[in-house]
Structure 1
Amino acid sequence: MHGAFIRKDFGDGVTGISLNRAPVNALSVGFLQDFASLLDELTGDETVRALVLLSEFKVFSAGIDLKEAMAFSVEEQAAMVDALNTTFLRLFAFPKPVVAAINGAAIAGGMFFVLTSDFRVAGPHASFGLAEIRVGVDFPIGPMEFARATLSPDMLRRLMLTGRPISAQEAHLAGVVDVIEQDPDVVLDRAIRAARDMAASPPDTYAVIKHQIRQATITQIESAMAAGTASREAGWFTESTQDAMMRVLGGI
């Protein structure tokens, strides 16, 4: 147990991290920071050969907690942007195989657990969306560049400009997920099998090739963060953000 995360041993060096912040794994600064710390631990643990991400709940992750965000000060807005950039960069650059097992909704910030993973297995009731436009916020540099690096231009346009989710079937056709299982009960087993297969590769070679694939995106984000251009010290929200969040909350 590590705060809002449950660590599971699936054998053969495959470790599961189950998101466990009830009820919908909403993102907070503390939740993201704890996840980043956990990734640091797993990076240095030589017994961990691969990572499987899953959820304890029907929802994989609903993104930022809008009820909390409604009351964010400018400083809290900036802290959230920093946490999103830093934590998902840590996951994107994680040197070991990362497999996501998705049996529910992965929405807005919650979808970046999926987009920064190496292999994605979805159940029939999973859904995926980037709803930021609907709640009146733009994309911090990290999430924007992860999406650019992993989505086709057409899927990027559709998800970001409509804010509407897509089904597991649509996500599979678009390459957002690699495997779709029609039985939700076998999604985790399929993800573990994929992680075990990927973990059989020489770990140093896997880490190097993964970095080669993602290096340009990582460098771009790190450079922006080092230069201070990735921060939102003046705030993240606009005049319309609170009204947009209220409309979304009213529709839930």
Structure 2
Amino acid sequence: MPLTLAVEFIEPGVRLITLQRPQALNALTTQLLGELADELNAAQSDHNTHAVVITGSAKAFAAGADINEMAERNLVGILDDPRQASWQTLTRFSKPLIAAVNGFALGGGCELAMHADIIIAGEDARFGQPEINLGIMPGAGGTQRLLRAVGKSMAMQMVLTGEPISARQAQRSGLVSEVTQPEFTVERALHIAHSIATKAPLAVRLAKEALLKAMDTDLASGLRLERHAFTLLAGTRDRDEGIRAFQEKRRPAFTGE
């Protein structure tokens, strides 16, 4: 049973993972990241889980790495940081991942949100990479994912000044897809997760893969991957079911085959 997370199974096919270190604004410890990786591995292997929502508290999604834990690690500890395996689990997670962000998403918290495929933010959300204020820099994808999400100028400003941006700024920059009233952030994220969970699982997985590939490859290579995935899906039972359901004016019953 995880100690720093709460996990709920919400029908149909959605897991809600809530970070629970309110006394530290959900600062990311080795234990929390390890438990999160374990839950994502469990979701990855569960055929009944089709989408995952990650959220925090009303005050903070996650306010960065745990500074007290960071202060205890020497250079060797940093180079051999067990948290790197946890971050790799987030990177490899192939099912749709949605972040519902209220309050602070700073440092590692912003990096955690950026591992999600979709970010829904409350009006009060604040996104930032303040590591420069500690004499360091983002180390869990903050420079790479942030630049791809918001562009060079905004990424440079956020990383080099350490100053956060608002939810509306994040939306205008492309970091966030929607901004809601804080009390509806999780509800909206779950609604999107439910919608995705009703779709054909193979199509969702391959569509996500193709979209992510578009971020780090040239157009020709991306188009080849897209055509290959499209061809694979053309031979699935779910494709046939989707067409029949459309013709018969009913909801499709996808099976993942």
Query: Shorter-chain-normalised TM-score: which range?
Result: 0.7 to 0.9
Instruction: From the superposition, tell whether residues 60 and 216 of structure 1 become closer, same or farther in structure 2 (CA, over 3 Å).
Output: same
The answer to whether the Cα contact below 8 Å between 2:14 and 2:49 also exists between their aligned partners in 1 is: yes
The answer to whether the Cα contact below 8 Å between 1:54 and 1:100 also exists between their aligned partners in 2 is: yes
The answer to whether the Cα contact below 8 Å between 2:129 and 2:142 also exists between their aligned partners in 1 is: no
Aligned match of 1:177: 176
Aligned match of 1:2: 2
Instruction: From the superposition, tell whether residues 37 and 45 of structure 1 become closer, same or farther in structure 2 (CA, over 3 Å).
Output: same
Cα separation, 1, equivalents of 2:10 and 2:186? 10
The answer to whether the Cα contact below 8 Å between 2:125 and 2:166 also exists between their aligned partners in 1 is: yes
Shift of 1:218: 8.6
Instruction: From the superposition, tell whether residues 124 and 90 of structure 1 become closer, same or farther in structure 2 (CA, over 3 Å).
Output: same
Aligned match of 1:114: 113
Aligned match of 2:208: 210
Alignment of 1:1-252 (within 5 A): 1-23=1-23, 24-56=25-57, 58-80=59-81, 83=83, 85-140=84-139, 142-181=141-180, 183-215=181-213
TM, length-normalised to structure 2: 0.77
Unmatched segments (≥5 aa) in structure 2 = 218-257
Instruction: From the superposition, tell whether residues 218 and 69 of structure 1 become closer, same or farther in structure 2 (CA, over 3 Å).
Output: farther
Cα separation, 2, equivalents of 1:191 and 1:12? 14
Cα separation, 2, equivalents of 1:3 and 1:157? 36
The answer to whether the Cα contact below 8 Å between 1:171 and 1:177 also exists between their aligned partners in 2 is: yes
Cα separation, 2, equivalents of 1:141 and 1:97? 20
Aligned match of 2:252: none
Shift of 1:141: 6.5
Deviations 1:122-163 (A, max 9, x none): 111110001111111123364433334333222211211111
Q: Secondary structure at the match of 2:72?
A: coil
The answer to whether the Cα contact below 8 Å between 2:137 and 2:159 also exists between their aligned partners in 1 is: no
Shift of 1:3: 2.4
Kindly name which structure, 1 or 2, has the bigger radius of gyration based on alpha carbons.
2
Cα separation, 1, equivalents of 2:171 and 2:209? 25
**Count of residues in correspondence between the two structures:** 216
Higher relative contact order (CA 8 A, sep 6+): 1
Instruction: From the superposition, tell whether residues 79 and 216 of structure 1 become closer, same or farther in structure 2 (CA, over 3 Å).
Output: farther
Shift of 1:71: 2.8
Shift of 1:31: 1.9
Unmatched segments (≥5 aa) in structure 1 = 220-252
Cα separation, 2, equivalents of 1:141 and 1:121? 21
The answer to whether the Cα contact below 8 Å between 2:106 and 2:129 also exists between their aligned partners in 1 is: yes
Cα separation, 2, equivalents of 1:149 and 1:166? 16
Cα separation, 1, equivalents of 2:87 and 2:213? 14
The answer to whether the Cα contact below 8 Å between 2:120 and 2:178 also exists between their aligned partners in 1 is: yes
Shift of 1:75: 2.7
TM, length-normalised to structure 1: 0.78
Q: RMSD between aligned alpha carbons? A: 2.2
Deviations 1:52-88 (A, max 9, x none): 11114521101111123223222322244x52x4323
Instruction: From the superposition, tell whether residues 142 and 103 of structure 1 become closer, same or farther in structure 2 (CA, over 3 Å).
Output: closer
Q: Secondary structure at the match of 2:60?
A: coil
